[in-house]
Amino acid sequence: MDVLERIDQQVKNNPVVIYMKGTPQMPQCGFSMRAAQALGESGIPFAYVNVLQDPEIFENLPRYADWPTFPQIYIDGELVGGCDITLELQASGELKTMMETAAAKSADS
């Protein structure tokens, strides 16, 4: 399977997925750590991909949604953004709502 197809499957098959450096338990960059913490504080389960362990994804993910940096957070198949946008959504309360909606939609299908 082509790497962009793999990314597309991951994005579409998970209500919430973060492409990050490291893991939520062992982040390898401050931006990834803060974004994963924000997702975790919602209480909604989310998937993650450690881009440091998959060089193909690391090199090609910026082409997938034309977003050059990591982390990248996708909710309900759509790119939400990176760390700063995720923290802004968390501060406004929108992040949890978006994650709950995506999780409920996924459970219904």
Which pLDDT tens digit goes with each residue over 26-64?
A: 999 999 999 999 999 999 999 999 999 999 999 999 999
Confidence at residue 108, expressed as pLDDT on a 0 to 100 scale:
85
Confidence at residue 84, expressed as pLDDT on a 0 to 100 scale:
97
Give the C-alpha separation, 82 to 78, whole Å.
12
- Listed by start position, the domains of the chain span 3-93
Q: What is the pTM of this model?
A: 0.96
CATH number of 3-93: 3.40.30.10
Confidence at residue 107, expressed as pLDDT on a 0 to 100 scale:
86
29 annotated as ligand-binding: yes
